[in-house]
């Protein structure tokens, strides 16, 4: 492997290493970007089917008396 550090070709070795690193970084970023976009799309798609994030209330009639509404509220949004 020492031939790679020969002064005549060391510059090309450094170029190949730097280019490989950039290509690797670029592919990684591209994949993360795609995955994030896909995840966002899926979250957007399923959002309408999810229980409403706003407070919900149910009214029950038990023994002819109306009870207090029971609200189910998700913890304060962050």
Partner 1 sequence: MGAGLRLAQTAKLLLGVWMAGIVVAMFLVIPPYVGLGDAGRIIVMHVPTAWVTTVAFALSAFYSARYLWKRRAADDSGAVAAAEVGFLFCALATITGALFANIVWGTFWNWDPRETSILVLLLIYAAYFALRSALDDVERRRRLSAAYNLFAAVTMPFLLFVAPRLADSTLHPNCAFIQGSTCDGVWLETEGVRIGQLGDVVLALQGLEQRGDVAVAHVEVRTPGLQNVALLEPTFELASGKPADRPEFPGQQFLLAVEAVDLANGRALLNIEAPGTGLLSNSRTFWTFMAANLGFLGLFIWLYRLRADVLVLQERLARREVVHELPA
22 makes contact with partner 1 (CB under 8 A): yes
The least CB distance from residue 15 to partner 1, in Å, is: 4
4 makes contact with partner 1 (CB under 8 A): no
DSSP result, 16-63: HHHHHHHHHHHHHHHHHHHHHHHHHHHHHHHGGGSPPSS-EEE--EET
**CA 75 to chain CA centroid, nearest Å:** 21
The least CB distance from residue 43 to partner 1, in Å, is: 5
The least CB distance from residue 10 to partner 1, in Å, is: 8
Residues forming a β-bridge with 70: 58
The 37-66 site mask, x for binding partner 1 (CB under 8 A), equals: x-xx--x------xx-x-------------
């Amino acid at each position: 492997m020492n031939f790679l550090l020969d002064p005549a070709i060391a510059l090309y070795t450094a170029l190949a290493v730097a280019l490989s690193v950039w290509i690797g970084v670029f592919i990684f970023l591209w994949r993360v970007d795609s995955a994030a976009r896909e995840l966002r799309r899926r979250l957007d798609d399923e959002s309408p089917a999810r229980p409403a994030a706003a407070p919900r209330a149910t009214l029950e009639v038990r023994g002819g008396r109306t009870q207090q509404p029971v609200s189910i509220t998700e913890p304060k949004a962050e």
